[in-house]
Amino acid sequence: MNDRIKQLAKKVLSSLGIHLTKNQRYDALALKVMQRSIKENSNCVDVGCHKGEILEEMIRLAPEGKHFAFEPIPELFKDLKTKFNGDVSIHQIALSDSPGQSNFHHVVSNPAYSGLKQRTYKGTESIQEIQVQKERLDSVLPEKMSIDFMKIDVEGAEFEVLNGAKEHIIHSKPTIIFEHGMGASDHYGTTPDMVYDLLVGDCGMKISLMDHYLDDGRALTREDFRQQFYESINYYFVAHDLEH
């Protein structure tokens, strides 16, 4: 979709009184990326599954695939097990790049903000510290299993998740939707250079904005990616192996 059409669509929505928030726009783009990337037999991974909205779409798009979901918050994990009733391999694990027990900050008042470390919050939140099990994705998935699509939304811990999944990323080159932004990732000491070096340098992937991926697949340079992060322009990205 070119810029002129995007602007026209925005004006039409505005004239109808429809104003998409940034998160709503990201959600709409994420679904389009999934529809483009996932085939009927695709194997998918949902990291930070939360209530399972994305997982549900994975199952719908790939009914013949195998799907893995990770959610460390006990109540959400229990609800996922009930909702999906054995159709998915669901793990009460916080994925990282090393195994072991860890403190986890469950934001009771806003569970979507929960993570291994506290992040920047917009207001006062109620936080409960719990113990969770950490594992590397490469240690949980079957060795050499082909993965076609991953979603990672872990409130700043994405570098650790990606680093712990490096073997499967190099082997499969999956399409990966991931969150990376100030106010979360910086609390882990993560920089865009670290993520870029891992995905592009070590894994041979490209990083794009979601709308660019859907349009012509053009990739961000290191400086582009740094600008997106430090100026808080966008915080959802797609890692991929597309050639254009």
Domains in the chain, CATH or no CATH each: 20-240 (3.40.50.150)
Q: pLDDT at residue 16 above 70? A: no
**Closest to 70 (Cα-Cα) out of 104, 50, 47:** 47
At 20, the pLDDT band (50, 70, 90 cuts) reads low
* Virtual torsion, Cα 85, 88, 93, 96, nearest 10 deg: -170
Per-residue pLDDT of 146-189, as tens digits, reads: 999 999 999 999 999 999 999 999 999 999 999 999 999 999 99
Residue 11: per-residue pLDDT: 45
Q: pLDDT at residue 1 above 60? A: no
Q: How many CB atoms lie within 10 A of CB 195?
A: 22
At 14, the pLDDT band (50, 70, 90 cuts) reads very low
CA distance 206 to 220: 8
- Work out the percent of the chain whose per-residue pLDDT is above 70: 91
Three-point CA angle 222, 223, 224, nearest 5°: 90
Per-residue pLDDT of 179-229, as tens digits, reads: 999 999 999 999 999 999 999 999 999 999 999 999 988 999 999 999 999
Entry pTM: 0.89
CA distance 47 to 128: 21
